[in-house]
A and B are shown apart, each in its own frame.
Chain A
């Protein structure tokens, strides 16, 4: 409870103007702070700016004009090239990425909410062990499990199917942990007791009360899972063979490899495709920034 409330309280006290009353800061130190901020902002944004500019250029402008400013505006032609290359396989990759990231995150959120609720609000035998397994498995990162998973999936014929990417994305110990922390703070046990006294079944309590109280938590879990899936590369690279099942990241990687090999230059294709891969995620994250900001901080404070 406290960890949920405290960051927000800190926000309100200093929200008026950021500086505590009576604080006099020298102009020099403020100028220094602003210069530092500008410098880091430049470092963070400049390469993306280069990508945006480059996506509007044709082959010769890429080579012969200043990389940080526009040449002849060719974004339309580049887009057309991306969309039509190889019968529009790019759209296929976008759809796959959305499917793997979206469906994976959705199921993961539901499973994690249920598990988080169970670990937070019930005291069954084995609960402590379960929680220890959840936290302990943070230490075994995904990439280390990928090869063992591949061997297992090869055994049961799941390699090169969408399930090979989807199934691992359903199970996320970190999401369970995050959901548990949220339930600790957002679902009062008295309310559950009251519902039980009124004769509500456990399933009904979960779907009608808990999930409603957990909207913010669920959004955070979903968002972090979605971003993780969207950004995944090693798992799909290991599992997927056929081009029609690839994700955007895999496709762009393959185009980049091809660019080196083939004689017709695919640079503009790779650059414009990369920019397009950024847009949905950036829009999604900016729209939902309220959730992931709280999520990341919350997960770390505990």
Chain B
């Protein structure tokens, strides 16, 4: 390696040192922690000692029904909510693309308003909007958005509201790069605007849809804020193991079982990696 290249490599040193300390090391430490467990000797009043437990925490995690139920829950949620949200985002982007640029810019900003709201504020705000006592929605519709039948839909709507604008931006960006001549050619051939959207525009943004889909799945697997706030209102429906991250949080800070929380974190990281990989392989093959 020449001197210049070595100096060039040095520019990335701060990042990779930080990366090692804040990404790699915590994961290794979590693996290490998950190999131990805390035993309390003598009827729970003796000193707490950390003892080596081998794979105990992992076998416990792998056979922990509530943990896998929480993963299943967010995946079931993802299967319904993500297509709806991306559908919204796609329609928004297509509508923007079908109008004059100046009009489009104004509406695009309006669509992005939810993206400018801090996540916890967005969730708080919707909790009040849903609230039967304070919010306008129950007055308008006469239904209770926190009832067991509706609470999933309420949460899905909240996530859709938060995420649609951001995804619209990515899809709209991809739409802008479709060669405009294609539309003219199609129009000359007598294709309707709807037909152009379905046959040209949507296939063209498939890559953007795959990307947003993948980001959404990863995001959904680590969902925390929204169910936490719902839990404040309806704790009997939104249990403390409703989502994987909630379960890890409560295992650590409620049950004080840090070792088990570490093991769950490691298992969850592996699950997320595997799901992302499968999704990538699957959509890559489908789009070829």
| Chain A positions near chain B (C-beta within 8 angstroms) | 6-7, 10-11, 13-15, 17-20, 22-23, 25, 29-30, 33-34, 36-37, 40-41, 43-45, 47-48, 50-51, 54, 62-63, 66-68, 111-112, 114-115, 117-119, 121-127, 130, 133, 137, 139-145, 147-152, 155, 167-168, 170-171, 173, 176, 196, 202, 206, 230-231, 233-234, 238, 248-249, 252-253, 256-257, 260, 267, 270-271, 274, 277-278, 281-282, 285-286, 289, 293, 296-297, 300-301
A15 x B265 contact (CB < 8 A)? no
- Besides A14-B180, A37-B103, 20 other A-B contacts (C-beta < 8 A): A6-B177, A7-B177, A14-B101, A15-B101, A18-B100, A29-B194, A33-B99, A50-B129, A62-B134, A115-B15, A124-B1, A133-B19, A143-B222, A148-B265, A167-B18, A202-B8, A233-B119, A267-B134, A274-B121, A285-B116
B4 x A115 contact (CB < 8 A)? no
The answer to whether the Cβ of B35 comes within 8 Å of any Cβ in the partner chain is: no
Interchain CB contact (< 8 A) of A141 among B7, B135, B166, B218: B218
Interchain CB contact (< 8 A) of B27 among A15, A33, A45, A148: A148
B16 x A130 contact (CB < 8 A)? yes
A63 x B134 contact (CB < 8 A)? yes
Give the A-B pair count, Cβ closer than 8 A: 289
The answer to whether the Cβ of B114 comes within 8 Å of any Cβ in the partner chain is: yes
Residues of A within 8 A of B169 (CB): 293, 296-297
Residues of A within 8 A of B253 (CB): 238
A139 x B272 contact (CB < 8 A)? yes
B177 x A10 contact (CB < 8 A)? yes
Q: At the interface with chain A, which of B46-54, B90-98, B147-155?
A: B90-98
The answer to whether the Cβ of B211 comes within 8 Å of any Cβ in the partner chain is: yes
Whole-angstrom CA separation of A299 from B30 in the bound complex: 31
B121 x A277 contact (CB < 8 A)? yes
Whole-angstrom CA separation of A200 from B187 in the bound complex: 56
B92 x A233 contact (CB < 8 A)? no
A256 x B22 contact (CB < 8 A)? no
Whole-angstrom CA separation of A170 from B269 in the bound complex: 21
Residues of A within 8 A of B9 (CB): 118, 122, 124-127
Residues of B within 8 A of A50 (CB): 125, 128-129, 135-136
A111 x B136 contact (CB < 8 A)? no
Residues of B within 8 A of A144 (CB): 222, 245, 265, 268-269, 272
Closest Cβ–Cβ distance, residue A248 to chain B (whole Å): 7
Nearest CB to that of B173 among chain A residues? A297
Closest Cβ–Cβ distance, residue A195 to chain B (whole Å): 12
Closest Cβ–Cβ distance, residue B22 to chain A (whole Å): 5
The answer to whether the Cβ of B281 comes within 8 Å of any Cβ in the partner chain is: no
Interchain CB contact (< 8 A) of B224 among A18, A168, A234, A270: A234
B12 x A47 contact (CB < 8 A)? no
What size tier do the contact residues of chain B reach?
A: 35 or more
Closest Cβ–Cβ distance, residue B38 to chain A (whole Å): 13
Residues of B within 8 A of A62 (CB): 134
B120 x A44 contact (CB < 8 A)? no
Tell whether A151 pairs with B262 under 8 Å between CB atoms, given A253-B124, A289-B109: yes
Residues of A within 8 A of B1 (CB): 124-125
The answer to whether the Cβ of B59 comes within 8 Å of any Cβ in the partner chain is: no
Interchain CB contact (< 8 A) of A37 among B26, B96, B192: B96
The answer to whether the Cβ of B60 comes within 8 Å of any Cβ in the partner chain is: no
The answer to whether the Cβ of B145 comes within 8 Å of any Cβ in the partner chain is: no
Whole-angstrom CA separation of A114 from B12 in the bound complex: 6
Whole-angstrom CA separation of A149 from B21 in the bound complex: 10
A-B pairs, top 8 by smallest CB distance, nearest first, are A122-B8, A297-B173, A67-B136, A148-B30, A118-B11, A18-B100, A148-B26, A115-B15
Interchain CB contact (< 8 A) of B118 among A40, A48, A278, A289: A278
The answer to whether the Cβ of B67 comes within 8 Å of any Cβ in the partner chain is: no
Whole-angstrom CA separation of A130 from B11 in the bound complex: 12
B113 x A45 contact (CB < 8 A)? yes
5 example contacts (A-B, Cβ-Cβ < 8 A) are as follows: A23-B187, A37-B95, A47-B126, A249-B120, A281-B118
B111 x A41 contact (CB < 8 A)? yes
Tell whether A143 pairs with B245 under 8 Å between CB atoms, given A15-B101, A171-B19, A206-B11: yes
Nearest CB to that of A62 among chain B residues? B134
B193 x A29 contact (CB < 8 A)? yes
Which of A125, A139, A267 has the most C-beta atoms of chain B within 10 angstroms of its own C-beta? A139
Whole-angstrom CA separation of A150 from B253 in the bound complex: 11
Residues of B within 8 A of A54 (CB): 128, 134
Whole-angstrom CA separation of A270 from B124 in the bound complex: 9
The answer to whether the Cβ of B276 comes within 8 Å of any Cβ in the partner chain is: yes
Closest Cβ–Cβ distance, residue A301 to chain B (whole Å): 7
Closest Cβ–Cβ distance, residue A12 to chain B (whole Å): 11
B99 x A297 contact (CB < 8 A)? no
Residues of A within 8 A of B134 (CB): 54, 62-63, 67, 267
A234 x B11 contact (CB < 8 A)? no
Tell whether A176 pairs with B15 under 8 Å between CB atoms, given A33-B98, A68-B136, A253-B124: yes
A115 x B95 contact (CB < 8 A)? no
Residues of A within 8 A of B104 (CB): 18
**B127-145 vs A: 1/0 string, CB under 8 Å?**
1110001111001000000
A111 x B14 contact (CB < 8 A)? yes
Residues of A within 8 A of B55 (CB): none
Tell whether A252 pairs with B125 under 8 Å between CB atoms, given A267-B134, A297-B170: no
